Amino acid sequence: MSELLTIGAVADATGVTTSALRYYDDRGVISPAARIGGQRRFDPTVIGRVNFIQRSQQAGFSLDDIVAMLDDTAGQWRALVDRKLVELTDKRARIDEMIELLTEVRACGCDVVATCDRAPSC
């Protein structure tokens, strides 16, 4: 009963498929603690990391972005985070606009969006 996790255990704990985890490993987004008989064994902290990856992806980060943030040793990551914060704020604004637009379009009396004068003219 070791404290290291098989790839399947990590998959179960995170909801990420084993193939995706291997892909992350290949890409260097996560790093396996060890190999036992050729099989990956992960430190349990990888679960937090995978969760962080998922959240970041949902917020629009690419795997390269995430690698850059997580594996940065030159202290550049703060600048990257700053850029990403600007991007996120921007994206949020566009989503807000879209919510407003859709809410308005939804409230109109048109049968078809294409003929609604509120929709295509913004």
Partner DNA sequence: CCTTGACTTCAAGTCGCCTTGAGGTTCTAC
Partner DNA sequence: GTAGAACCTCAAGGCGACTTGAAGTCAAGG
**Interface with a second copy by CB under 8 A: which residues?**
45, 48-49, 51-52, 55-56, 58-60, 69-73, 75, 77-78, 81-82, 84-85, 88-89, 91-92, 94-99, 101-103, 105-106, 111-114, 119-122
Token pair for residue 23? 């892909």
64 contributes a contact to DNA by CB under 7 A: yes
Q: How far is CA 5 from CA 9, 45, 114, 119, in A?
A: 6, 10, 53, 52
Question: Closest distance between a second copy and the C-beta of residue 2, in Å?
Answer: 21
Q: How many Cβ atoms are within 10 Å of 22's Cβ, its own excluded?
A: 14
Q: Which two tokens stand for residue 99?
A: 């919510």
The residues of the shown chain that bind DNA, judged by CB under 7 A, are 6-9, 11, 17-20, 22-24, 36-40, 57, 62-64
